[in-house]
Amino acid sequence: MSTERGTPTLREAWRSGAARLRQAGVEEADADAELLLLYLLGIGKTEWLRDMREPFPHHHLARWESLLAKREKGVPVQYVIGDQHFYGRAFEVTEAVLIPRPETELLAEAVLRLGDELFGGPGEGGPVVLDVGTGSGALSVTLAAERPEWRVIASDLSKDALAVAKRNAANLGVGDKVTFAQGDLLTPFLAGAGGDYPAIDILVSNPPYIPSADIEELQREVRDHEPRLALDGGEDGLNPYRAMAGQLSGLERLPRVVAWEVGAGQAEDVAGLLRSAAKWDDVYFVKDYAGIDRHVIAIRK
Ligand code: GLN
């Protein structure tokens, strides 16, 4: 196909879009412009590489402008296109939920491994897992999809987040495998709360852990667009851990595994909270890709 005079190619549209984003202070301007363009055109990487010299379809122009304008204003590219990949699956994200982060995949991986080790591998029945503050459902849906024999419960304080998590569970084929609960931290699951949930074997959570005063200093994408409820961990950022550690003894029985994501520099304090709340055979840390102690794991063998 020959290019009409004045009509840019897809590649040219990408380059000029990226230049606009860079001008607006977007760090990953090339990658983001590419994601937006592929989303706009509804094509994958293969077609993109094959067709970059084709003309940019004129009827897409208004939509292209509006996608770029949102990203220029600081809306994270995942909210603009409405999805983020996590553990090999595409999760819908809206501004009601935190965008799942790659380091949280390491928490999913650690829980899958521990579940197999302590409760038998695939085909042997499995643990009851509770994901507190499920947000998009990244952790709960991943665990349910990877281990169909596990029983997965997902909770969140936010009803809007739960609606997103439920859609993700349904779209990713585990709609009838994840049980959803609305409420604060462990409150719905305490003995006597009347929730009729089974005893929890594995308690996983990536709770809000940013100290309140630090929120203003976050990148604008995070500060202005990700839900405050998913970020703000109170004065020292440790409130959710403190509260959950305090609630552990109120569960029907103590989980055999607690696996929590923490902020940089919080691992020792969170381990201390867990050690004073219960007796464990082992409490250890899992590092993220940057070498930071990112996940605290406490187990009883
Ligand atoms: N559990 C979700 C995730 O890991 C949401 C976490 C949160 O909102 N703090 O992505």
Taking only the tens place, the pLDDT of each residue in 282-291 is 999 999 999 9
State yes or no: pLDDT of 253 exceeds 90: yes
| Residue whose structure tokens are 């100290």 | 211
Query: Which stretch of DSSP H or E encloses residue 293?
Result: strand 293-299
State yes or no: pLDDT of 124 exceeds 80: no
Please tell me the pTM assigned to this model: 0.94
Structural domain includes residue 54: yes
Same-domain check for residues 43 and 148: no
SS3 content of the chain, % helix, strand, coil (to 5): 45, 15, 40
Contact 245, 277 (CB under 8 A): yes
Structural domain includes residue 152: yes
Q: Is 289 labelled as part of a ligand binding site?
A: no
Cβ of residue 206 lying under 6 Å from some atom of ligand 1: yes
Nearest alpha-carbon partner for 251 in 175, 183, 195, 168:
195
Structural domain includes residue 156: yes
Q: How far apart are CA 82 and CA 67, in angstroms?
A: 12
Which string of DSSP letters, residue by residue, matches 20-64?
HHHHTT-TTHHHHHHHHHHHHHT--HHHHHHHTTSBPPGGGHHHH
Question: Into how many domains does the chain fold?
Answer: 2
Q: State the pLDDT confidence band at 238, using cuts at 50, 70 and 90.
A: very high
Range of the domain at 45: 10-73
- Within 10 angstroms of residue 39's Cβ, the number of other Cβ atoms is 16
Going from the Cα of 6 to the center of ligand 1, the distance in angstroms, rounded, reads 46
| Residue whose structure tokens are 């790659």 | 102
Amino acid identity for residue 129 in this structure: V
State yes or no: pLDDT of 121 exceeds 90: no
Q: Is 196 labelled as part of a ligand binding site?
A: no
Q: What is the mean pLDDT of residues 25-53?
A: 97
User: To test ligand 1's pocket by mutation, which of 78, 95, 98 has the most ligand atoms within 8 angstroms of CB?
Assistant: 98
Q: How far apart are CA 90 and CA 168, in angstroms?
A: 9
Atom of ligand 1 nearest to the CA of 209: 9
Buried b / exposed e along 181-220 (16+ C-beta atoms within 10 A): beeebbbbbbeeeeeebeebbbbbbbbbbbbbeebeeeee
Structural domain includes residue 2: no
Give pLDDT, residue 128: 97
Structural domain includes residue 135: yes
Same-domain check for residues 53 and 140: no
* ipTM for this prediction: 0.91
Atom of ligand 1 nearest to the CA of 97: 8
Atom of ligand 1 nearest to the CA of 134: 1
Nearest residue by C-alpha to atom 6 in ligand 1:
206
Same-domain check for residues 65 and 201: no
More confident residue, 123 or 260: 260
Strands (E), 144-254: 151-156, 178-182, 202-205
Nearest residue by C-alpha to atom 10 in ligand 1:
100
Query: Which stretch of DSSP H or E encloses residue 284?
Result: strand 282-287
Same-domain check for residues 41 and 165: no
Same-domain check for residues 29 and 176: no
Q: What is the mean pLDDT of residues 57-75?
A: 97
Same-domain check for residues 195 and 132: yes
Nearest residue by C-alpha to atom 1 in ligand 1:
134
Same-domain check for residues 125 and 208: yes
CATH number at residue 289: 3.40.50.150
172-209 pLDDT, tens digit per residue, is: 999 999 999 999 999 999 998 888 899 999 999 999 99
Give pLDDT, residue 278: 97
Same-domain check for residues 19 and 128: no
Structural domain includes residue 3: no
Contacts with 268 (C-beta within 8 Å, 6 or more apart), sequence order: none
Structural domain includes residue 82: no
Q: Is 134 labelled as part of a ligand binding site?
A: yes
Going from the Cα of 101 to the center of ligand 1, the distance in angstroms, rounded, reads 8
Q: Is 123 labelled as part of a ligand binding site?
A: no
Same-domain check for residues 119 and 201: yes
Going from the Cα of 271 to the center of ligand 1, the distance in angstroms, rounded, reads 20
Same-domain check for residues 30 and 67: yes
The alpha carbon dihedral of 109, 113, 115, 116 has a sign of positive
Tokens at 67, concatenated: 């996608």
| Residue whose structure tokens are 């006597």 | 192
| Residue 241 DSSP class | H
Q: What is the mean pLDDT of residues 133-157?
A: 97
Cβ of residue 133 lying under 6 Å from some atom of ligand 1: yes
148-178 pLDDT, tens digit per residue, is: 999 999 999 999 999 999 999 999 999 999 9
Atom of ligand 1 nearest to the CA of 229: 8
Cβ of residue 84 lying under 6 Å from some atom of ligand 1: no
Torsion (CA) 73, 74, 79, 84 in degrees, nearest 10:
140
Contact 110, 286 (CB under 8 A): yes
Same-domain check for residues 111 and 67: no
Same-domain check for residues 31 and 136: no
State yes or no: pLDDT of 3 exceeds 60: no
User: To test ligand 1's pocket by mutation, which of 134, 218, 266 has the most ligand atoms within 8 angstroms of CB?
Assistant: 134
Structural domain includes residue 218: yes
